[in-house]
Chains A and B, each alone.
Chain A
């Protein structure tokens, strides 16, 4: 009897509670163990590269920002860098620093998001709630500085569109001080909580040799002890002037990827502080011509998920000849089959989540009955009072 007859094939996706985006896996099982897996992506294919050729360079900046809602600044900056290289624009230093600060804030919110999602995938919903609550502080900062919680639109060709004021600087420093304490607490949990360690260790193993061979990038590669980080290897924006470590780990599994991301959070706080301190005064942008001269450029950026690559070719008109995007998740999908070889079906959600997939390479008030309109602070006090009446006291805790 052929070995293949022993396999039971089950579909996983494109609609599945563990997946936030549509992807399809066809999993061949023997009992509970995964024998082989076929990955089918492309559900998020929207035809953006073709669309770029039909829109002007500046319109493309905003289109590419929406490739992904979590790393939108990555795509926008990577593209802007490529166009600025072709047009030989000298982006002012202050703009480079602002881009760097927003980039690291994006890394913070993305890694906190990931921590929450990873917690959710292994059934640790408390971690999801804690980290996403912390993340809201970063979203508020972004909304203050750039005007939107997501899809910031801070870039323009030639620089940035908005400045960071002194008050905003103080806000950022306050928020990261708090987040740093929280992150140190999460690191402590990850190093001491036995159930967490057991659940994540040995899962999704990817040896250094395999990671190199299959072209893994970002925290996935760094957890297999590959010290590759575009910010260090091929510095862009203001990274050449910042002091930071590339975080690697030798566990080669999901636990290692968790530790790498948490280490990167601490580095990000340090980088944001440095950048805020050393940010020079000056203009926010240089004027970019509408028609970009003939040329081509390859731009690389270290997105929270790994290396993002944009290739842009211009033909002298106001629309690009070609725009090619290779998002980090595409480079990491090749490793999924290897990581899931001979593992249990229950590991699938966390292993897929561990590469942090992003297949789409994106003074408030509410009204309460009887009370009319409330401000945020009033709502908070209202809820604390309500719980007090039920016998639960949140008012004293300063979390």
Chain B
């Protein structure tokens, strides 16, 4: 099965497919994530494609501080993703709760609910920072070989 694993790894690194999920954010990070896919920054030239379903995704790109209402759905989506999977937390809210830290309906960051592989700070995280974060994650995966 060694060669199949190699192919999977190679395709993940060369063309990671992402699923974008908003766990109750103010939208600023989400708009910047989508802006990263538009002609100015163009993530698609790196092979990154935005997918509609968790079952097709390699990387879960998450924003928001995780509200109580959305928590169960986040876990469900994470479980629906096939292995090997990675999670990127975009923005200060996803990292630590941001300005919403301590509010009663907020869990306080993605890593309170699911394991996170990379954190991209910023309020909001600029598209350049997002690209930087995704590239760093991919480099790390490559180095893991």
In the complex the two chains form, is A66's CB within 8 Å of B28's CB?
Answer: yes
Q: Does A332 contact B (CB under 8 A)?
A: no
How many angstroms between the C-alpha atoms of A70 and B35 in the bound complex?
A: 13
Contacts of B29 in A (CB 8 A): 69
Q: When each residue 73-96 of chain B gets 1 if its CB lies under 8 Å from chain A and 0 otherwise, what string results? A: 100010000000000000000000
Q: When each residue 39-64 of chain A gets 1 if its CB lies under 8 Å from chain B and 0 otherwise, what string results? A: 00011111110110000000000110
Contacts of B73 in A (CB 8 A): 14-15, 22
Q: Does B26 contact A (CB under 8 A)?
A: yes
Name A364's closest neighbour in chain B (CB-CB): B128
Q: How large is the interface on A (under 10, 10 to 19, 20 to 34, 35 or more residues)?
A: 35 or more
Contacts of A68 in B (CB 8 A): 26-27
Contacts of B24 in A (CB 8 A): 22, 43-46, 360
A46-B65, A128-B38, A136-B35 given as contacts; is B28 within 8 A of A69 (CB)? yes
Residue from B21, B31, B77, B105 in contact with A47 in the complex, judged by beta carbons closer than 8 Å: B105
Q: Does A358 contact B (CB under 8 A)?
A: yes
How many angstroms between the C-alpha atoms of A136 and B41 in the bound complex?
A: 10
In the complex the two chains form, is B25's CB within 8 Å of A14's CB?
Answer: no
Residue in B27, B28, B52, B104 with the greatest tally of chain A CB atoms within 10 Å = B27
B42 CB to nearest chain A CB (Å): 9
Contacts of A113 in B (CB 8 A): 31
Q: Does A391 contact B (CB under 8 A)?
A: no
How many angstroms between the C-alpha atoms of A43 and B107 in the bound complex?
A: 13
How many angstroms between the C-alpha atoms of A343 and B27 in the bound complex?
A: 28
In the complex the two chains form, is A50's CB within 8 Å of B103's CB?
Answer: yes
How many angstroms between the C-alpha atoms of A193 and B24 in the bound complex?
A: 37
Residue from A63, A132, A360 in contact with B25 in the complex, judged by beta carbons closer than 8 Å: A360
A13 CB to nearest chain B CB (Å): 9
Q: Does B113 contact A (CB under 8 A)?
A: no
Contacts of B23 in A (CB 8 A): 22
Q: Does B99 contact A (CB under 8 A)?
A: yes
Contacts of B114 in A (CB 8 A): none
How many angstroms between the C-alpha atoms of A133 and B39 in the bound complex?
A: 6
In the complex the two chains form, is B40's CB within 8 Å of A136's CB?
Answer: yes
A70-B31, A129-B38, A366-B128 given as contacts; is B103 within 8 A of A51 (CB)? yes
Residue from A20, A21, A42, A135 in contact with B69 in the complex, judged by beta carbons closer than 8 Å: A42
| 3 nearest A-B residue pairs (beta carbon) | A69-B28, A362-B26, A17-B52
Q: List 27 A-B contacts (CB under 8 A).
A: A14-B70, A15-B77, A20-B31, A22-B69, A42-B69, A43-B67, A44-B67, A45-B105, A46-B100, A50-B103, A62-B99, A66-B99, A68-B27, A69-B28, A133-B39, A136-B35, A136-B38, A149-B124, A150-B32, A151-B28, A151-B124, A358-B27, A360-B26, A360-B27, A362-B25, A362-B124, A366-B128
